Amino acid sequence: MAALINVPSKAKRGDIIEIRTLTSHIMETGFRHTADGKLVPRNIITSFICRYNGAEVFRADLFPAIAANPYLSFFTVAKESGKFEFEWIGDNGYSSTASASITVE
Amino acid sequence: MISWRAIAAATLLAAAAPVLLAGEIPPDARRSGYAFMGADTRAMQDDDTSNPGMLFVLDGEALWAKKIGSADKACADCHGDAQSSMKGVAARYPAFDKALGRPVTLDQRIILCRANHQQATPLPYESRDLLALSAFIAHQSRGTPITAGDDPQAKPFVEQGRVLYMQRAGQLNLACTNCHDDNFDKRLAGAPITQAQPTGYPLYRLEWQTLGSLERRLRSCMSGVRAQAYDYGSPELVALELYLMSRAHGLPMETPAVRP
């Protein structure tokens, strides 16, 4: 699925940087019914993980009350040049990944 | 002498200016719905990495280049790079179609193109792919002033839309103009009443949690006044859309906008 990632392309060593992520997902709560009364099965993202050069720096659990197309922003410390990897995991075996690189001077 | 000249000039200006009907908003007082939003929602629209409408634009970009239908053609095969070929196009829609003899919306143009040139299965109104394509195309016009309705052939349809806009409807017996010309800047159940300037469609409504077309917005206003909403793609909705776009003449396109 489409994802929008905002990671600064350059940072100074030791800087606190903000990372913003937005991904496409319907986040169906599992509490809604169709017009003919059938329950719409739950289909949400259940967890999000961000790894910085392989090491996990941020993790979040998501729940049915979270809006569609979840937006997450968080902070980390720029330590070394490399790659941020993002992973969204959800119901029905949903998995989506994205990555962004950073140069640390 | 000088004062006489000033008066003469003022008279000339008054004669040249378009006639405003009672209740209509003067051109320099028109404001996009953006001006009515809170700071948080504005910030969400302004930053392309936090604007959820951009997710649809990305999907639309992929669809633009995808070969489909029995003609095995992609939009890009005829139209090339959308950045140049589609720039300013959405600002002219709904546009008059000579073959059909009536105006068509951007969504209808995409549906027609798919049927005639790609020989592909039609996309239903409000389907994700149709919204993604129209968002991608309209995004190329971001910042372009709206010129829809300038075509002389479209004028009768603009007028039809204006009549519908002024016509009271539904159990609440309200016309569009009663809220959007006479009472903007006030509130309805806590939400600001805007001027109904359709500058950012298709747009992401936080209430919908998805992208939606102007027709969807018009239909929800109609059920709001307890009226029977026109069907998607009906001539009445197209005429209303055309009138609203001509009413927003000169305002810059914002697609994909974010609205509460």
What interface predicted TM-score (ipTM) does this complex get?
0.88
Confidence of residue B23 (pLDDT cuts 50, 70, 90): confident
Nearest residue of B to residue A4, measured between CA atoms: B49
Average pLDDT over residues B157-182: 96
Higher pLDDT, B245 or B16: B245
**pLDDT for B24:** 84
Closest-CA distance of chain A to residue B52, Å: 7
- For the cut 90, the answer to whether the pLDDT of residue B118 exceeds it is yes
- For the cut 80, the answer to whether the pLDDT of residue A1 exceeds it is no
Question: Do B199 and B141 contact (CB within 8 A), yes or no?
Answer: no
Q: What is the mean pLDDT of chain A?
A: 95
Nearest residue of B to residue A67, measured between CA atoms: B209
**pLDDT for B200:** 96
**pLDDT for B4:** 54
pLDDT per position as a tens digit, A39-67: 999 999 999 999 999 999 999 999 999 99
- For the cut 70, the answer to whether the pLDDT of residue B243 exceeds it is yes
Q: What is the mean pLDDT of chain B?
A: 92
Average pLDDT over residues B173-197: 95
Phi, psi of A30 (to 5 degrees): 90, 0
Contacts of B210 in chain A (CB under 8 A): 26, 68-69
List B residues 37-76 in contact with A (Cβ-Cβ < 8 A).
47-50, 52, 54-55, 58-59
Total tally of structural domains belonging to chain A = 1
- The pair of three-digit structure tokens given for residue B28, joined into one six-digit string: 């320099």
Contacts of A71 in chain B (CB under 8 A): 50, 52
Written as one string, the DSSP assignment of chain B is: -HHHHHHHHHHHHHHHSPPPPTTPPPGGG---GGGGS-HHHHHHHH-TTT-THHHHHHHHHHHHT--BTTTTB-HHHHH--HHHHTTTTGGG-SEEETTTTEEE-HHHHHHHHIIIII--PPPPTT-HHHHHHHHHHHHTTTTPBP-TT-SGGGHHHHHHHHHHHHS-BTTTTB-HHHHHTTSTTSEETTEEP------S-SEEETTTTEEE-HHHHHHHHHHHTT-PPPPTT-HHHHHHHHHHHHHTTTPBP-SSPEE-
Confidence of residue B1 (pLDDT cuts 50, 70, 90): very low
- For the cut 50, the answer to whether the pLDDT of residue B11 exceeds it is no
**pLDDT for B5:** 55
Of A55-69, B18-32, B138-152, B156-170, the one with minimum mean pLDDT is B18-32
Question: Do B141 and B87 contact (CB within 8 A), yes or no?
Answer: yes
Average pLDDT over residues B230-259: 97
- For the cut 60, the answer to whether the pLDDT of residue B13 exceeds it is no
Higher pLDDT, B8 or B150: B150
**Amino acid in position B157:** F
- For the cut 70, the answer to whether the pLDDT of residue B210 exceeds it is yes
For residue A23, what is the domain's CATH number?
A: 2.60.40.10
Confidence of residue A2 (pLDDT cuts 50, 70, 90): confident
Segments forming the whole domain that contains residue A75: 3-104
Sign of CA dihedral B46, A88, B133, A30: negative
Average pLDDT over residues B25-36: 94
Ordered structural domains, chain B, with CATH: 29-50+146-259 (1.10.760.10), 53-139 (1.10.760.10)
Confidence of residue B22 (pLDDT cuts 50, 70, 90): low
Question: For A49-84, b where at least 16 C-beta lie within 10 A, e where not — what string?
Answer: ebbbeeeebbeeebeeebebbbbbeeebebbeeeeb
Percent of chain B predicted with pLDDT > 90: 89
Of A5, A20, A69, the CB nearest to B52: A69
